Structure 1
Amino acid sequence: MSSGFSGDFFTAGGFTGRSMAINNPQNIYNLADPASQIHPRRPDLIGKRSLAEFQTQHQLLQQQQALGLYLRNVKPRTYQNPSPISPISSDFSASLSPDVSSISSTSSVSSSPAISTRYGLPIMQPQQIRPQPINFGNGNSVIPFNHPNFSGVSYPNLLPNRGVNRETGEESEKKMMNRLHELEKQLLDDNEDDEGDAVSVVTNSEWSETIQNLIGSTQKPISPTSSSSSCSSSSAYPQSLSPKQSLIEAATAISEGKTEVASEILTRLNQVGNIRGTAEQRLTAYMVSALRSRVKPTEHPPPVAELYGEEHAISTQMFYEVSPCFKLGFMAANLAILEATSDQRPCKLHVVDFDIGRGGQYMHLIHALAARKGDNSPSLKITTFTDFAYGEEKLKLVGDELKTRANKVGIIFNFNVLSLKITDLSLERLGVEENEVLAVNFAFRLYKLPDESVTTENLRDELLRQVRRLSPAVVTVVEQEMSANTAPFMARVTEACGYYGAVFDSLDATVSRDNPDRVRIEEGLSRKAANSVACEGRDRVERCEVFGKWRARMGMAGFNPKPLSPLVSDSLRTLLNSGTCGNPGFTVKAETGGVCFGWMGRTLTVASAWR
């Protein structure tokens, strides 16, 4: 495994200082011989620089200053103390004898014989030798101090950052750089009290520790990357992230157009997901499928037509029956309708429902009417409308089943199926009689209608305005507490992860994993999540809103809130405790004109009444 350096750090006899790297054995004093590191002042030492030498260095200084760089002035000086590198173990040093004669006579030499000495070795002027940059094998290189292309202080990434704690890594790297600065200062025989040079004094033991740390850092393995995209994906998918966080990372890559990175993250997440595992594993599996539909819609088409199919309608109805938060939402709507007819005896109730489904909600309403005391021969009329999932024939079958149940409990029952445009709604077309109490039920229906953000027709507000003209005694609204209408892609992904994660988790409390309907129900939920995340425009059918926005929309359509009585909340709480054996994860609470049903602190549905 590459250590990030070209060979071992010292075996080649090279040492890198602040921005100086020497890889030529002829320019290295013998590190293994301590005696070679102490040299008395030589009698032939030139104490002052010659005019030619001064002019040469002055020209170099002017060139460096023209580039906005600062070249430190190096002065010859006698060393009476051991070199700070002496603590280096001889195991890592090389016995390299300098050989001045090996320098080629063809080198460019100054006309002035200005050759100074340091540590008993001749130091060549820049015109005499042109050192080459040192390549460390990991894409980084250091240009020596006296190289013509030297452009100021520049360090490669000597300390590998992969896998290092960022908070402590920066501090260690700063400390290392300060020590390297001081080493260069010692190697260059610089003045310790030069102005502007704030390098702290480092002891020999500290230098030994520094070098040992450098050696240790070179021995850490660095994971190779095959391409820049894989490197980016590695940083975008740290192993410490949870599956939900990784889903958000994948969505971020999708929003930034980095489809390759997103695909790699989703491939890894696919190994974590399991539709028969924990709630988190199930959510991961279905959200990976949803995001793949966003990345490659041609290979993984997002669900659109499937939301109008019979299978989806069946799985949705099954979900409504097993989830307390949704089942109690229907019951809250029924209780609001019963409250609107509490003063009428006998009760003649006419309910207009724009999405009756399989009629499960009205099984409960029929029994509630029959149980009302002092009400002889109550009647119930239901008017519904055909749609993509339920044609007229299927709806008539639903009506027959409801009628059979009503007859058993002594309820007069009528069922009508109409096919009308929204603009054709009227009391006459609906067949509303004078002595009937009219109630309109919007249970999980309004969110499927496009609003002004999709089309200028704005079917959502148009339907509400038409219903307002009917002057119903009560309008019930039951919706999912989820912001997925006008929210941007990233916000919808975050919302879907949080919302459906809570839904999958709540199912563990009501449906066993061995139940054969479990996967069927959750596949229906996955279609809803995928449509919310992967589709835009008219193809996005799942356009849920939070209760605050429904409250504003209902107010603009001319409706006023009709708060449910505390008795309703108490009744629903009693039903919840009896149906879930008192599971504390489920909650019922009345807030701001609605009744909220949730799981583990997350509100899933809200029921409200209007007039």
Structure 2
Amino acid sequence: MANESFFLEESNFGEVQDAFNSTHKSFDSKEGEKTQEIRFFGADEELGQSWSNDPQSSFMSPPLETCLEEISKLRGIESGIGDLLEHNKEKQLPFSLASLQLLQKYGNGLKRLNDIERRIEPNIDPSTPKVKKQELSTEEIMKIAGARFIQSSNTDVHFNHPFDLSFSSLSASEAKNMELAELLFSSAEKLSNQQFNSASRLLDLCDFLSSNTGNPVQRLVYYFSRALRERINQETRRSTSKEQSFNIYEAIMTPSLSNMAFYKQNPFNQVSHFAGIQAIVENTIESKRIHIIDLEIRSGLQWTIFMQALVSQEAWPLELLKITAIGTTSKQLIEDTGKRLLSFAQTMNLPCSFNVVMVSDILDLREDHFQLDDEETVAVFSEFYLASLIASPNRLDSLMKVIRNINPRVMVIIEVEANHNSPVFVDRFVETLFYLSAFFDCLDTCMERDDPNRVISESIYFGEGIRKILVAEGEERNIRNVKIDVWRACFARFEMVEAEMSMSSTCQANIMAKKLACGKACTLNMDGKSLIIGWKGTPIHCLSVWKFA
């Protein structure tokens, strides 16, 4: 079996294990400098403090009226918003007000945009060298466009921004991007107000000006425009058949050059994998038999990292590494992943077995499916899987009860650190747009624009994801990302205790980020005991480690 599917940059996984004590609570982001503990607060933060009788309701955003009442207390909002709140209590709030709270929150994080005014000051002395202008990022473009949209569509609402909302300080390319972004905001507003013909005309312009091979703004608008148009067709029943969909899970599992290129060139998965694997290593060290249960194995690349870590421990008396993958579909693809992992283990002379537990429904999963051995140490790994069960709380509850009964030594969880689960369409639109703006900024730094692997990966990972978040409803909307505070409330119900992220794990993340060409912009911060992996401060993924009380 060929091993190129598991090709990784040369990495010395064990290089920090002896240098740091695992009980430390902070880590170095730069040599000699400690990273300050930062908490990322969002609109759903209060949800982490209680759990209602309806598990699914605890994954929801707070009522929009509550958000607006809080906004009215923020500096920069005129008293006129109070009248606006009263006026809207008895009717559905328009798109612009629904977005106001999110735009205000994100706008407060753009202090560096004050530099815009300085950078375009006329240079009076021709002998003085001009400072090279730094283009606005996709994330900044979207946030400014959102603020401009709010200002233009609601003259009764005023709030201050740390940047100039006019086009006077923008380059020609920035102005074009801003106009395109505003077209997208306007089309979403028309859609939310059921002005479908107007929304369609605006989307025609978006389609004309956007491209899946253009700059990041154009690429992002391209995918959002397709999703908004499908939602219009769905609500107006203009189309008798749904947009052609495909199984993201199968696309990710299938070995391909595009999947490998995406994995190698963006930092988030590699950073979270190395840190997460280190946590498993620390909790299984010196065990003779290790049993890994992977809730959704995908390509299995993380276990090649784990195997290398095991081999690096020369004195480790390992008798067997057992990997069990759970699946409800795509059995053949899971088995193919197992064959590649076994082949990789064989090249390293590592005793390894691979088992597949197939169930038609996760509700059917039981402890006796896992062939547990009293002498083995069990670790559970979950990457982007639990959020897919939020739409079916009974399945999430059933799975977590099975895992609790197994009582693993450790459970490592990686999830998207964002709130894409609001029942309000426009809130999901704004949150998803801002989140993916940061992600597309990352891709533009890490991959060439004409790289065909980038185009394929963006379509697989984001095109279908945007469609699921914005178009699908009910159980079909199975991409329902929530933030770590919400997960903490959920896991507390199953007597799960959040474990401290060790110094070794955070150092593995830091070392991995520095090894990547674009890793300098990958930010690592702690939210309590969890590691937040972001892009220039915008949270992208969350890595957390759990044990059962």
TM range, normalised to the smaller chain? 0.5 to 0.7
Where 1:287 maps in the other structure, the secondary structure is helix
CA deviation vs aligned residue, 1:385-429 (integer Å, no higher than 9, x gap): 2333x22x2222211111111122121100001123544544432
Q: What residue is the counterpart of 1:576 in the other structure? A: 513
2:386 maps to which residue? 446
Distance, in Å, in 2 between the alignment partners of 1:322 and 1:303 is 30
In the TM superposition, residue 294 of structure 1 has moved relative to its aligned partner by: 0.8
Query: Which blocks of at least 5 consecutive residues in structure 2 are unaligned?
Result: 1-151, 155-165, 168-174
- Alignment correspondent of 2:224: 287
State the alpha-carbon separation in 1 of the partners of residues 508 and 248 from structure 2: 34
Residue 414 in 1 paired to residue 353 in 2?
yes
- Residue 468 of structure 1: how far off its partner (Å): 1.1
Aligned to 1:267: 204
Structure 1 pair 587–252 and aligned structure 2 pair: CA distance change class (3 A): same
Q: 1:561 aligned to 2:498?
A: yes
Shift of residue 446 of structure 1?
0.8
- What is aligned with 2:275? 332
Report the Cα distance in structure 2 between the residues aligned to 1:387 and 1:368, rounded to whole angstroms.
30
Tell me which of 172, 176, 180 is aligned to 1:243. Answer: 180
Aligned partner of residue 337 in structure 1, secondary structure: helix
Cα distance in 1 between the residues matched to 2:363 and 2:471: 31
What whole-Å deviation, never above 9, does each CA across 1:416-454 have from its counterpart, x for those lacking one?
A: 0112354454443201101111111111111111x3xx4
Q: Aligned AA for 1:399?
A: G
Residues 162-218 of structure 1 show CA distances to partners (whole Å, capped at 9, x for unaligned) of xxxxxxxxxxxxxxxxxxxxxxxxxxxxxxxxxxxxxxxxxxxxxxxxxxxxxxxxx
Deviations 1:23-43 (A, max 9, x none): xxxxxxxxxxxxxxxxxxxxx
For residues 261 and 297 of structure 2, the distance between their equivalents in structure 1, rounded to whole angstroms, comes to: 14
Q: 1:341 aligns with which of 280, 284, 287?
A: 284
Distance 1:307 1:396 in 2: 17
One-letter identity of the residue aligned with 1:483: N
Instruction: Output the CA distance in 2 between the equivalents of 1:318 and 1:446.
Output: 26
Shifted more, 458-467 versus 363-372: the winner is 458-467
* Greater C-alpha Rg: 1
1:345, distance to aligned residue in structure 2 (A): 4.4
With over 3 angstroms needed to count, the CA separation of the structure-2 counterparts of 1:509 and 1:284, relative to structure 1, is same
Deviation at 1:521, TM superposition (A): 0.3
Task: Report the equivalent of 1:353.
Answer: 294
Aligned letter for 1:503? F
Select 2:190's aligned residue among 253, 258, 272: 253
Shift of 1:253: 1.3
Identity of aligned residues (%): 25
Which of 536, 540, 551 is equivalent to 2:477? Answer: 540
CA distance in 1, matches of 2:242, 2:283: 42
Q: Secondary structure at the match of 1:440?
A: strand
Normalising by structure 1, we get a TM-score of: 0.57
Is the 8 Å Cα contact of residues 317 and 357 (structure 1) preserved in structure 2? no
CA contact (8 A) 2:311 2:348 kept: yes
Residues of 2 paired with 1:585 and 1:300: CA distance? 45
Structure 2 partner of 1:482: 418
Equivalent residue number for residue 104 of structure 1: none
Q: Which amino acid aligns with 2:396?
A: R
1:527 aligns with 2:527: no
Change (3 A) 1:422 1:255: same
Alignment of 1:463 with 2:399, yes or no, is yes
- Worse overlay, 267-276 or 236-245: 236-245
**Is residue 497 from structure 1 mapped to residue 433 from structure 2 by the alignment?**
yes
Does the residue aligned with 1:543 lie in a helix, a strand or coil?
coil
Q: Distance in 1 between matches of 2:244 and 2:353?
A: 34
Q: What is residue 220 of structure 1 aligned with on the other side?
A: none
Q: Which has the higher contact order (CA 8 A, sep 6+)?
A: 2
Q: Is the Cα–Cα contact under 8 Å of residues 303 and 527 in structure 1 kept in the other structure? A: no
Conservation of the 8 A alpha-carbon contact between 1:484 and 1:544: yes
Instruction: Say if 2:249 is the partner of 1:306.
Output: no
Q: How far 1:311 sits from its partner (Å)?
A: 3.5
Q: Cα–Cα, structure 1 residues 513 and 556, in superposed 2: closer, same or farther, change >3 Å?
A: same
Aligned partners of 1:558, 1:599: CA distance in 2, in Å? 32
Q: Secondary structure at the match of 1:466?
A: helix
1:340-381 CA deviation, whole Å, 9 max, x = no partner?
112x344x2101112111211111111111112421345211
- Residue of structure 1 equivalent to 2:373: 433
Structure with the higher helix share, 1 or 2: 2
Q: Aligned pair 1:375/2:316, yes or no?
A: yes
Following superposition, the deviation at residue 499 of structure 1 comes to 1.2
Residues 481, 544 of structure 1: 8 Å contact kept: yes
Unaligned stretches of 5+ residues in structure 1: 1-234
* Contact 2:327–2:357 (8 Å) recurs in 1: yes
State the AA in 1 paired with 2:224.
Answer: M
Is 1:351–1:441's contact at 8 Å kept on the other side of the alignment? yes
Q: CA deviation at 1:484?
A: 1.4
**Counterpart amino acid of 2:454?**
R
Residue 280 of structure 1 and its aligned partner are, at CA, apart by 0.9
C-alpha separation between the residues in 2 aligned to 1:281 and 1:258? 24
Residues 369 and 378 of structure 1 are in contact (CA less than 8 Å); yes or no, is this contact kept in structure 2? no
- Among 322, 327, 346, the alignment partner of 2:265 is 322
Distance across 2 between alignment mates of 1:551 and 1:520? 35
Root-mean-square deviation over aligned CA pairs: 2.5
1:502 deviates by 1.3
Q: CA deviation at 1:542?
A: 1.2
The total of aligned residue pairs comes to: 368
Counterpart amino acid of 1:324?
Answer: P
Do the aligned residues in 2 keep the contact of 1:569 with 1:589 (CA within 8 Å)? no
Counterpart for residue 304 of structure 2: 363
| Offset at residue 307 of structure 1 (A) | 2.9
With normalisation by structure 2, the TM-score equals 0.63
